[in-house]
Amino acid sequence: MIGTDHSSGDGVERCETCAVQTPHDVSIEIRTESDKEKNAEFSREPYRVTRCRMCGETASQRMNNA
């Protein structure tokens, strides 16, 4: 898995661990989903990654489901 941070920002979102709205760091990562070297460049997908500033919990969500 290759991660490249293209943008980052701050946001307030619900943290499942804290069970309340908390400040989060938000970024976009490009991840390679294939373990095979052949055609790996065609398996990259953007993911939205959030990290709770209160507890450190990290969550990611694939941004497109093609």
Closest among 39, 40, 53, 44 to 9, alpha carbons compared: 53
Residue 10 pLDDT > 90, yes or no?
Answer: no
d(CA 13, CA 10): 10
- pLDDT tens digits for 23-64? 999 999 999 887 777 776 778 899 999 999 999 999 999 998
Please answer whether residues 23 and 10 qualify as being in contact, where contact means their C-beta atoms are separated by less than 8 angstroms.
Answer: yes
Output the pTM of the full model: 0.71
